[in-house]
Amino acid sequence: MKVWIDGRVVDASEATVPVTDHGLLYGDGVFEGIRIYGRQVFRLLDHLRRFASGARAIGLALPVDLQGVEKIVLETARAFGQDEAYLRLVATRGVGGLGVDPTTCHEPRLFCIAATIDIFSAEQLRAGIALATVSVRRPALDALDPRVKSLNYLNNALAKREAKLRGADEALVLNAAGRIAEASVANVFVARGGELVTPPTTDGSLDGITRDSVMQIAASLGVRATAESLSRLDLLRADEAFLTGSGARIVPVASLDGQPVGWDDTAPGDRPVTRRIVEAFPAFTRANGTPF
Ligand SMILES: Cc1ncc(COP(=O)(O)O)c(C=O)c1O
């Protein structure tokens, strides 16, 4: 693991953040999870724009401009040197007083971690994962907007914890109205009648870059893909379902709350729409990467 912090790249064991940083004390900050595929940073500009807009949304002035952040990301990727990797770009409010007041923090902190992660195994990517509908609801847009990728991920962590405690792999998180928002840190897609549907971000999800990539790939394959509000029942009635995220990638869903999802014995990763999207994904990453 390599980390860009305080102007240089160091090993993770040497990268430290003070205990009075409000990123740690209050989850005050924003982050991005970015994939490197084939020695290219995937959709870097889109990640940087989301990062910058999240920072604006919480009134955090990034210590460098977007070109500066891009240089830091590419420098971290080069130092790590792996062809396939995962980057975690983080901006915190910085060191401040022991009260929540962000105006006591005068120097936002930026760091970038390069590592490898595998959230789901190759077997899960074929056989699919088990989802559990959790009791933790996604916060309302006017409470903590889920479209801001903030460091305040307690809601997401508790959703994942509950799903794991109930023996599932991942959480299905609903909003206060009972509509599907997303998984703990991934977007949800269902396929029915050969078409793809994903909930609108206004139902409580991040505007995922993998989600958008799947919509673009679907369009190029002539598969209709739309954003429409979905319920648990829509998932149980679907022909196929999968999750998308930079960390998770494209993960087929095998069951929800102990009920199978889909109608035949085909492995969820081998079902027609899922397979076409998964097979087209590598070429899409090659065409949308920044080399380092
Ligand atoms: C809450 C949440 N939803 C969805 C996603 C998927 O977004 P992306 O595809 O941009 O990684 C993420 C990030 O991985 C996330 O943190």
- Please identify, among 92, 115, 138, the residue that sits at the C-terminal boundary of a domain: 115
Nearest CA to ligand 1 atom 6: 245
Give the ligand 1 atom nearest the CA of 205: 3
At residue 67, the 3 state secondary structure works out as: helix
Structural domain of 170 = 122-289
Prediction pTM value: 0.97
198 CB under 6 A from ligand 1?
no
Give the ligand 1 atom nearest the CA of 50: 10
**Residues 12, 158, 249, 51, CA torsion sign:** negative
Ligand 1 centroid–CA 27 distance in Å is 17
Q: Give the per-residue pLDDT at 46.
A: 98
- Please identify, among 115, 149, 182, the residue that sits at the C-terminal boundary of a domain: 115
Average pLDDT, the chain: 97
- Domain of 275, CATH number, reads 3.20.10.10
CB burial readout 41-55, b (16+ within 10 A) else e: bbbbebbbebbbebb
Q: Are residues 101 and 48 in the same domain?
A: yes
186 CB under 6 A from ligand 1?
yes
Structure tokens given for 193: 């009648």
Q: Number of structural domains, the chain?
A: 2
Q: Are residues 182 and 93 in the same domain?
A: no
Q: Are residues 39 and 132 in the same domain?
A: no
Selection from 22, 26, 31 nearest residue 54 by Cα: 31
Q: Are residues 132 and 189 in the same domain?
A: yes
- Please identify, among 86, 115, 144, the residue that sits at the C-terminal boundary of a domain: 115
pLDDT in tens, 70-114: 999 999 999 999 999 999 999 999 999 999 999 999 999 999 999
Q: Give the per-residue pLDDT at 148.
A: 96
208 CB under 6 A from ligand 1?
yes
Give the ligand 1 atom nearest the CA of 146: 1
Q: Are residues 108 and 177 in the same domain?
A: no
Q: Are residues 191 and 63 in the same domain?
A: no
204 CB under 6 A from ligand 1?
no
Q: Are residues 135 and 87 in the same domain?
A: no
pLDDT in tens, 131-173: 999 999 999 999 999 999 999 999 999 999 999 999 999 999 9
Q: Which long-range contacts (CB under 8 A, 24 or more apart) does 237-240 make?
A: 237/192, 238/190, 238/191, 238/192, 238/262, 239/190, 239/191, 239/192, 239/193, 239/263, 239/271, 239/273, 240/190, 240/191, 240/268, 240/271, 240/272, 240/273, 240/274
201 CB under 6 A from ligand 1?
no
Q: Are residues 139 and 106 in the same domain?
A: no
pLDDT in tens, 237-263: 999 999 999 999 999 999 999 999 999
Ligand 1 centroid–CA 186 distance in Å is 5
Nearest CA to ligand 1 atom 15: 185
Q: Are residues 158 and 272 in the same domain?
A: yes
- Domain of 52, CATH number, reads 3.30.470.10
Q: Are residues 157 and 240 in the same domain?
A: yes
Nearest CA to ligand 1 atom 4: 186
Q: What residues contact residue 175 under an 8 Å CB cut-off, 6+ apart?
A: 137, 138, 140, 181, 203, 204
Q: Are residues 153 and 199 in the same domain?
A: yes
Q: Are residues 98 and 154 in the same domain?
A: no
